[in-house]
Structure formats: C-alpha cells, structure tokens
Amino acid sequence: MHRLRRKVVFSSPSVPFVFFSLLLILVISTVHRAHAQQQRPRNITIVYAGTSSNQAPGWVAYETGIFRKYGLEVQLVQVTGGPKAVQVLTSGYATLAQVPGPSVVQRSLQGGDVVLIGGILNTINYQFIVDKTIQRPDDLRGTSMAVSRAGSSSDFATRFALDKYGLVPGKDVSIVEIGTQPERFAALESGRVQGVMLEVPQTLKAKRMGMRVLADLQMLGLEYQATGLATTRSLLKSRPEVFRSLMKAYVEAIHYYKTHPRESMGILQKYLKFDDAEALRETYEGVGLTLVPERPYPTLKGIQMILGEMAAVEPRAQTAKPEQFVDLTYIKELDESGFIDQLYKSRPALASTGPKTATTAGTKETPAAKTAAATQEKRKSSGATPVKAAAAGSHEYTIQTGDTLALIAQRYYGDVKKWTRIFEANKQTLKTPNFVFVGQKIIIPPDDMASVRQSGSSQ
C-alpha cells in the first residue's frame, strides 16, 4: 500500500512585488545615508585677508558656534592681503574667502575662477593717516605710503586719494607693500613711511600719538566693495548645500554681531588684539552697527568703481560688467525666503550701545554707558555745531572729520544745495568738490539770501 504523499507547493512572489520591495529598501537606505551625511559636519576652510574689523562676521560665526549650528566644521586661516587670499582660494585649499573686492575683480579679469557671493563691507572706511610733519597734500611729494599688497583695498584707497590730490603714485609718491594694518602702522610710527590707510581702532592710536588725519574716506559715502565673500564657480556648482549653509551662518552671525554688543566687542578684542575699551566701542559702533549690511549683497556700483580705477592699466576692465563678478543665487534665495526678515522681526534691547533718554527705575548708569554718552557728545561737538555766517563778509573755516561741502552748506546756509557757492569761492585750492582733507582751510562766502532777509527786516 502506497503512502499518500502531500505535495506542498510554495507560491513564489510575483515579479512586481519583488521589484517594489527592493525599491523600498533602496529608497530607505538612500534617505538614511543622506540624513547621516547631513548630520555629519562638513569640514571647510575659510581664509580671511588681514586683521581688520571688516572680517568680524566670520569671527563671530566661528566663536559663537553658528557655523556648527548649520553643520559646518570650519577652520579659519588668516593670510596677508587680498591677492594672497584669492590665490589660496583658487588653489583649492579653501572653500570661501573674506577678501577685498579689487582682488577678486583683478583675478577674474586674468581668467581666474573666482566670484563674489556676498558683501560684508560695501564702502570705504579708511582714514588717511600721515606723519605729523605732513600739513597738506602737497607735502606728500617725495614721501612713501604703505599698503598691504598691490591690488588690495588699502592700495586702491591710497591711489584713489592721491589721484584726488593730483599726485601720481610711483612718480610723486612711492607705494610700499608692507602687510597688515598693525605692520603698516608700525612702519608709519618708525618713520619708514609717511602715510597709511588705517581703520579704527588703529586710527585712534595714531591720533593719540600726534599723527594727523589728512582725509576721512568714509565721509565720501562711496559704494565700494571693500570686503566680500568669494568662492569659485566650480565649488558653487559641486557643493550647493554647503553654500546655502554658509550664507545662513553669515546672515545669522551679522544679526548676532549687531544685537550682542558686549559679546561682539569681546570677539573683536580677541582678534584685533586691542584692549582699549573706547577704541573697541568706536570700532563696533562705527563699523559693525553702521556699515555691515543686514542683507549682505555685493555692491554692483562698488564693483563698477573698482573697474573704473583698473581700466587705466587693465584693458579688459574697460568692457567688463559688474554682474560678471557676482553670483547672487544664495543671498537672494535666503532673502526671498523671509529668513532675514524673521531674524530682525524683534530686535533685542541691547542692539544699541548708546545712552538712553530715560532709565528704568532703580537701575544705575554703567561706566560703559557713560563712556558711550561722552563719545557721542564728543562727536556732536566736533565740527558739527551750526555756525551762522555773518552777512557782511566771508568766514575762514577749517575742515574737520566728517565734513563735506554739502554738510557745511547745510550748517551755514540751511541748504545742502548751496555747496556750489562754497566750491566756487575756493576753486583755487579745491581740485574737486568731492574731496576735502581734514585741517584744510576754506572760505565760507556770505549767504546772499541771508543778506536780503537782513536788509528786508531793517526797513
């Protein structure tokens, strides 16, 4: 008798089911791997050119951990001068550079793969500091000026000022490459050079030593790409997620910088290696609060100005357009997302370091607040007090820091448009209405309308 055998048949899964299962496993694995990569910090190097307050946003992002917040493990490396920083960037060693605009424009014109994606300082904030023996621009003939490197922002500012004075670099005045601001200041102090472009806090130290401010370039209000964020187009294409994170980090660092004075001044003190409380406050208020933009776009007008200056020695600059040196993708994307507006939606009370008109009951004015109040009052009284010009004759006036012909016209005539009257009266000594130097003496002619009003009231 045969034993009956039960045949067990295992039904095999259908082909679509197997395919779907494998696809699901692949998707889960990919998502998991991508998430792990996002969680893992991305190591990058950022180079910055020199030790000036223009570099502060990067320092703040590093010291406060904002870079790490956005998944970036950053190594900050200082180099001397913009051209060197661009060279390090294009060599592939660095991902980003905080660098003067002229260095980026010059390297790009030469065919280098470099582009600006942000603007940290979009104006000139130098003061032209000279030896105490220099009384007027003509005294600069036969002297030497210190700059960081050829093509740097200090080099541009020096040549710009000399041109306004009618002096030819290399012929009337020698240009010497020295290095960082402290090194340039030391060269001025030792007598190796007779003039240098400096920013605060070095300017305050120079004034205390009896050196003179021949010109304050900040008072010109020029748009100029003094410091920007630069990278290469190849990196932008290959690592877009890194630059989205970088832009967020810089924008948030700028917000922190503007809204946390005490902590920010501590960071400035560390990197500038300067312990003077007044100088640190001057730096923070004059640059951090005033000049660093909340929305760090590069300035196209400022780049055009750089091209205009380069055109005399670089033919390719004559036909170049500012737009070819920038990529606004990431700052524009961030701006339009509302990220920046949200940061500044509610500003902390400590965003201002100036004196308050009223204090909370039971609180005392701190020494820092007293210092700030004294500094503000000093600024207000320094050449800013309106002086009424007598209708009978002209006045002699000495240019002070912050003066322009328009401001002087407002002070004397009550009308900024009357600056042309002052310029006409001083054509023999003023080469241009846009550039006057501190300590220069000019004639303030009488206001004709004031004479008419005075004669009318006496009838």
46, 100, 297, 359 from 94: Cα distances, Å: 6, 16, 21, 48
For the chain, domains (ranges, CATH) are 39-123+224-343 (3.40.190.10), 127-220 (3.40.190.10), 395-458 (3.10.350.10)
Number of alpha carbons in the 13 Å side-chain half-sphere of residue 74 = 30
**Tell me, what's the pLDDT at 383?**
40
**Tell me, what's the pLDDT at 92?**
94
Confidence bin at 23 (pLDDT 50/70/90): low
Confidence bin at 370 (pLDDT 50/70/90): very low
**Tell me, what's the pLDDT at 16?**
61
- What DSSP state is assigned to residue 152? S
Unique residue bearing structure tokens 């989205």: 244
**Tell me, what's the pLDDT at 359?**
30
Tens of pLDDT, residue by residue over 273-314, are: 888 888 888 889 888 988 899 999 999 999 999 999 888 889
Instruction: Give the number of other CB atoms < 10 A from CB of residue 184.
Output: 27
Instruction: Give the number of other CB atoms < 10 A from CB of residue 139.
Output: 15
**Strand-by-strand arrangement of the 72-79 sheet:** 72-79, 42-49, 96-99, 223-231, 115-123
Alpha-helical runs (H) found in 12-113: 15-39, 56-63, 66-69, 82-90, 101-109
Q: Residue 179: is it exposed, middle or buried by C-beta count within 10 angstroms (0-12/13-18/19+)?
A: middle
What is d(CA 438, CA 459) in angstroms, rounded to the nearest whole number?
A: 42
The mean predicted confidence, pLDDT, of the chain is 81
Q: What pTM, to 2 d.p., does this model score?
A: 0.65
The pair of structure tokens assigned to 380 is 């207000």
Tens of pLDDT, residue by residue over 197-230, are: 998 778 888 888 999 988 888 776 678 999 999 9
What is d(CA 249, CA 253) in angstroms, rounded to the nearest whole number?
A: 6
| Strand bridging mode 127-130 / 195-198 | antiparallel
User: Which helix or strand (DSSP H or E) is residue 240 part of?
Assistant: helix 240-259
Tens of pLDDT, residue by residue over 417-443, are: 788 899 889 988 886 676 677 667 899
- CB within 8 Å of 36: residues ≥ 6 apart: none
Phi, psi of 140, deg, nearest 5 = -75, -15
Instruction: Give the number of other CB atoms < 10 A from CB of residue 328.
Output: 15
What is d(CA 38, CA 71) in angstroms, rounded to the nearest whole number?
A: 7
What is d(CA 320, CA 367) in angstroms, rounded to the nearest whole number?
A: 52
Which residue, among 203, 220, 219, has the nearest Cα to 211 in the 3D structure? 203
User: Which helix or strand (DSSP H or E) is residue 336 part of?
Assistant: helix 329-336
- CB within 8 Å of 147: residues ≥ 6 apart: 154, 155, 158, 175, 176, 177, 178, 184, 196, 197
Instruction: Give the number of other CB atoms < 10 A from CB of residue 80.
Output: 18
On whether the CB atoms of residues 178 and 193 are closer than 8 A, the answer is yes
On whether the CB atoms of residues 43 and 76 are closer than 8 A, the answer is no
**Tell me, what's the pLDDT at 13?**
57
User: Which helix or strand (DSSP H or E) is residue 329 part of?
Assistant: helix 329-336
